[in-house]
Structure 1
């Protein structure tokens, strides 16, 4: 590890399509340059193309999920939400450990802001993680509704904005394009 002399904190947010796609694109570029990329996906349980792509880019690009497959958050009962919260906390501890062990050059926390919005993580936990980021590791976080204190602490924030979207015309999510 340690290919970067200076790592920054990037956030991809907004209501538009492309947050995870941008993070995966960066991961692909970094893996091509033999940087070690760890992506932790929050609130994603289904099969996605990036899981298969990452397998082809190993050992440089690895994706981790800590949650067992479930429905959408708003469909879960209290017991399922409690289980999910513990799984999210385990993923968070794994991210901290990546920093402690300097196990990667780039850490991507995909849809971590969704975990925050659903109160499965706290704003203080995200701020603590940002504080613990080693100098030479890049941190990338994705998801909607980023709190202002987190935006202020980041070095780069890109907002994906819907100007037009075919979902509004009834086009469903498509394999290979949206997942």
Structure 2
């Protein structure tokens, strides 16, 4: 998958559909009680770039099972998302391979 800022309109639409399908799978697993912890990696970026509707994520967070822990990663969470969060961490890079000229690696950075 390409970064959203270089996607064609067709690619963006396919990515939107894929992100909503992925969230639906996670919601079904959560509602069925099959999981205790759900990590939605980079979901905040998906919302921020319009690849996932904030409303669908908020609806899930408001209606999730009480015993389900949810971890959202990414940048620029909205105030609405922050207001539903129990823990908020701001992680900063102290050292990163990119600083030594190492490009993003499949399976690590993307």
TM-score normalised to the size of structure 2? 0.84
Aligned to 2:47: 116
Deviation at 1:163, TM superposition (A): 4.5
| Distance in 2 (alpha carbons) for counterparts of 1:89 and 1:176 | 22
1:90 correspondence with 2:21: yes
Aligned to 1:75: 6
Which has a greater percent of strand?
A: 1
Question: How many corresponding residue pairs?
Answer: 110
TM-score normalised to the size of structure 1? 0.54
1:104 correspondence with 2:35: yes
Secondary structure of the structure 1 residue equivalent to 2:89: strand
Give structure 1 stretches of 5+ with no counterpart: 1-69
Secondary structure of the structure 2 residue equivalent to 1:140: strand
Deviation at 1:107, TM superposition (A): 1.0
Give structure 2 stretches of 5+ with no counterpart: none
Greater length-normalized contact order (CA 8 Å, ≥ 6 residues apart): 1
Aligned CA-pair RMSD: 2.2
Q: Which runs of 4+ in 1 moved over 6 A?
A: none
Which has a greater percent of helix?
A: 2
1:40-83 Cα offsets, whole Å, 9 max, x none, are xxxxxxxxxxxxxxxxxxxxxxxxxxxxxx32222211111111
